[in-house]
Structure 1
Amino acid sequence: MSLNTSSVSVMLPIGDAAAAQEFYSDRVGLPFEGTNSEGSLLFGLPGGSQLVLLPRPDQPPSPSTAVSFVVDDVEAEIADLKARGLVFQDYDLPGFKTVDHVCVMASAKAAWFLDPHGNVLCLHQNL
């Protein structure tokens, strides 16, 4: 087996398992697959990959994007997720500004939101 044909598990720390399960299931829309023996929450991702949320209330989230979901239409996804209660981040930095939550870059459009632990998640549409 080669790594280029393997599914992957993305692992993120969480502080509150109940809040994380509600967020990722009900708001983001990922299928909840249960918990493992360590109490981590497991969510299905395309291609057999998995999101694993690790109960680590004392571990701070990464300040950088932890997960980015590739979408066909970033504006449509924003509208759908906002209807489910997600709040998107806005930025106004030199060379990096969002308009209606979307930053248009040379090769992609992107939008960011935070999970209940503060992990940075992204939607991006390749141009």
Structure 2
Amino acid sequence: MLKDQQVGAVLPAQDIARARAYYSEKLGLEPENPDDDDNLQYKCGDGTGFFLYQTPNAGTARNTQMGWMVSDVAATVAELRDKGVTFEDYDFPGLKTENGIATMPDGSAAAWFLDTEGNILSLTQTG
């Protein structure tokens, strides 16, 4: 029933203006509804997107909440670092980052960063 349908993420933000500035300045994303002041809708590749809404509950999740599939994680990390994005370093059983990038069991690469609202976002290398 849902397997062929597009999906999108829903992310919380304590300060929607601060989040909007971060997503614009650091990630190069502009909302589809620029006049709204309590929620923002973003479109990304292949008809995907996400919704950011204001709530005091932002930043409480300790898991990855949304991720982008990219062709080159190292290049994307470097580009985002140049814009001031800080990547997380992890050292868990089965997952260790080096310079912010982990090599996954299947050989792909992944990296994680936090937005201004405490949401954990990821990059995963495709193919």
TM-score (norm 1): 0.87
What SS class does the counterpart of residue 32 from structure 2 fall into? Answer: strand
Residue 38 of structure 1 and its aligned partner are, at CA, apart by: 7.8
Residue 36 of structure 1 and its aligned partner are, at CA, apart by: 7.8
Q: Is 2:16–2:37's contact at 8 Å kept on the other side of the alignment? A: no
1:122 partner amino acid: S
Q: Which residue of 2 is the match for residue 96 of structure 1?
A: 95
Q: List, as ranges, runs of 4+ consecutive aligned residues in structure 1 with deviation greater than 6 Å.
A: none
2-side partners of 1:5 and 1:111: how far apart? 27
Q: Which residue of 2 is the match for residue 82 of structure 1?
A: 81
1:110 partner amino acid: A
Q: Is 1:62–1:119's contact at 8 Å kept on the other side of the alignment? A: yes
> Counterparts of 1:9-88 in structure 2 under 5 Å?
9-34=8-33, 39-88=38-87
Q: Is 1:36–1:42's contact at 8 Å kept on the other side of the alignment? A: no
Is the alpha carbon distance of 1:113 and 1:9 closer, same or farther for their aligned partners in structure 2, counting shifts above 3 Å?
Answer: same
The answer to whether 1:118 aligns with 2:118 is: yes
Residue 88 of structure 1 and its aligned partner are, at CA, apart by: 0.4
What SS class does the counterpart of residue 122 from structure 1 fall into? Answer: strand
Residue 84 of structure 1 and its aligned partner are, at CA, apart by: 0.8
Gaps of 5+ in 2: none
Residue 59 of structure 1 and its aligned partner are, at CA, apart by: 4.2
2-side partners of 1:105 and 1:26: how far apart? 29
Residue 6 of structure 1 and its aligned partner are, at CA, apart by: 3.1
Q: Is 1:42–1:50's contact at 8 Å kept on the other side of the alignment? A: yes
Q: Report the identity percentage.
A: 35
- Once the two structures are overlaid, the 10-residue window that deviates more, 95-104 or 69-78, is 95-104
Gaps of 5+ in 1: none
Q: Is 2:58–2:118's contact at 8 Å kept on the other side of the alignment? A: no
- Once the two structures are overlaid, the 10-residue window that deviates more, 11-20 or 25-34, is 25-34
